Amino acid sequence: MRRKPMKGGEKREAPRQALYSVLIVDDEEIIRHGIASIISDEPDFRLVGAAGDEAAAVKLLESYQPDLLLRDLSLGHRDGMHFLKDIAGRFADTRIITLCDHQLALTGPARA
């Protein structure tokens, strides 16, 4: 996008600082890239990393301590609840949003 030339005396606004840092964790590369693309277009969010497994996620959490973690509930065939409990205890300031594409995960808790 081209910027208009500034007229005499006009000031350009400084770019806004992102309000929230975000880490994405999903074992599907296409999902990671899709979410990363959306996050990168939002001025209030700064993408600090994307991981495909729990070990890589923990390293990024330790390095960046993001404000927000977007993660798939099940990485591969593993249930992610134990991981969520672990990171919620270790990284109390990081808010977690869990993504899920499994119908059973959506309907199972409703039956309980």
pLDDT digits (tens, 9 = 90+) for 51-90: 999 999 999 999 999 999 999 887 766 667 888 888 889 9
Q: What is the reported pTM?
A: 0.75
In the predicted structure, residue 7 carries a pLDDT above the cut 70:
no
Interatomic CA distance for residues 58 and 53, integer angstroms: 9
Closest CA to 66 of 14, 16, 25, 15: 25
For the chain, the C-alpha Rg in angstroms (whole number) is: 18
Closest CA to 35 of 79, 64, 71, 80: 71
Q: Residue type for 7, please? A: K
- All domains of the chain, ordered by start, with CATH? 20-111 (3.40.50.2300)
Three-class SS state of 36? helix
What is the mean predicted confidence (pLDDT) over 97-104? 75
103 vs 46, residue with greater confidence: 46
CB-based contacts of 16, cutoff 8 Å, min separation 6: 43, 44
The dihedral built from the CA positions of residue 98, 106, 100 and 90, taken in this order, carries a sign that is positive
